[in-house]
Every structure is written in C-alpha cells, then in structure tokens.
C-alpha cells in the first residue's frame, strides 16, 4: 500500500506485510492477520498481489478473493510460477494490468 502512492494508499485504513506477521506468503498467517485487523471474514476480503504462488494461491487458500497484478513493466513470470496458476474462476480471482484497474474493480463493486 505504501508504494502505491497517496491516492491509492488513502483508501486503506492499514497495511500488513508478511514480514510484519513473521511469516512468509503463501502461509495463511499474513492473510488471516489482515482479515482479523479488518474485522471481517477472509471471504469478504480481496488481496491484490503480483505473485501467482505467493499472493494468488495464498489468498485463495484462505478463502479470499484475489486480483493478480500483471504489469507490463514486470519481468515475465517463470514457467514454474505460471504452472502454479489455478484454473480461471472470475468469481474468485481475476488478472489486472495495473493497481489502478484493481482498485477500480474493488471500489466500483465489480469484484
């Protein structure tokens, strides 16, 4: 959230990193601590991240919805990383090309 800039970070009440929790993703701990801090069930959360194995699979494994951030300026994902991509399910996860697109989907209630 902090790297997103003030326009986007102002939409959030808090940020929790995996390092803050003492666990690495895709462990459930960072995801569940974020849900606890938000005082809601993980099913009502949307995680935005750029790693298939750490962000997407970690969030889906905790019953969260997820937006996979695939920016054009990011290095291509490895074959192993891409192979861990779960089957497409637009109700549970989608791929977006920018953080602005991700926030727009969430704010407009389209996801």
Q: With beta carbons less than 8 A apart as the criterion, state whether 105 and 94 touch.
A: yes
Predicted local distance difference test score (pLDDT) of residue 74:
87
Where residue 9 falls among pLDDT bands split at 50, 70, 90? Answer: confident
Bridge partner list, 86: none
13 CA to centre of own chain: 16
Q: Would you say the C-alpha torsion 82, 68, 24, 63 has a positive or negative sign?
A: negative
Per residue in 15-57, pLDDT (tens digit) is: 888 999 999 999 999 999 999 999 999 999 999 999 999 999 9
Bridge partner list, 47: 66
Predicted local distance difference test score (pLDDT) of residue 65:
97
Q: Residue 77 and residue 33: Cα distance in Å, rounded? A: 27
């Amino acid at each position: 959230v902090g790297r997103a800039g003030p326009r986007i970070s102002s939409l959030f009440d808090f940020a929790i990193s995996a390092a803050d929790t003492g666990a690495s993703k895709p462990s459930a701990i960072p995801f569940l601590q974020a849900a606890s801090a938000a005082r809601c069930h993980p099913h009502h959360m949307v995680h935005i991240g750029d790693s298939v194995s750490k962000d997407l699979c970690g969030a889906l494994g905790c019953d969260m919805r997820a937006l996979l951030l695939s920016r054009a300026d990011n290095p291509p994902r490895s074959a192993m990383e891409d192979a861990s991509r779960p089957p497409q399910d637009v109700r549970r996860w989608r791929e977006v090309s920018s953080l602005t697109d991700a926030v727009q989907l969430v704010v407009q209630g389209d996801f």
